[in-house]
Amino acid sequence: MTNPPLIEQIAERVERLLVRHEELRRTNELLTQQVQALTHERDNLKSRLMAARARVDSLIDRLPAAAAAVAAAPASDDKEGAA
C-alpha cells in the first residue's frame, strides 16, 4: 500500500472543497430566498395589523357617542313605561 502522490492528495482535497463550496452556495441562495419570503410576509402582516388597529381605533372613537345614545335610550323607555 503506497500513499498517493502529494499532488493527487491536494487535487482530491481541492475537489472536495469545490463540492462543499457549491453546496454552501446553494444553501445560502435558498436561505436568502427564505429571508426574502419571510420579510415579505412580515411586511404584509404588519400592514394588516396596522389596518386592524385603525379599524379598532375608529370603533373605540365611536364608543362614547354610542354609549351616550344607549344611556339616553333607557331613560326615555323608563318614562314611557312609568306613564
DSSP per residue, the chain: --PPPHHHHHHHHHHHHHHHHHHHHHHHHHHHHHHHHHHHHHHHHHHHHHHHHHHHHHHHHHHHHHHHHHHHHHHHHHHHHH-
pLDDT digits (tens, 9 = 90+) for 50-62: 999 999 999 988 8
Task: Give the cell for residue 6.
Answer: 502529494
35: phi > 0 → left, psi -120 to 50 → alpha, else beta; which? alpha
The pLDDT of residue 23: 98
**One-letter identity of residue 9:** Q
Rounded CA separation 80/30 (Å): 72
Say yes or no to pLDDT of 81 above 70: no
Task: Give the cell for residue 24.
Answer: 454552501
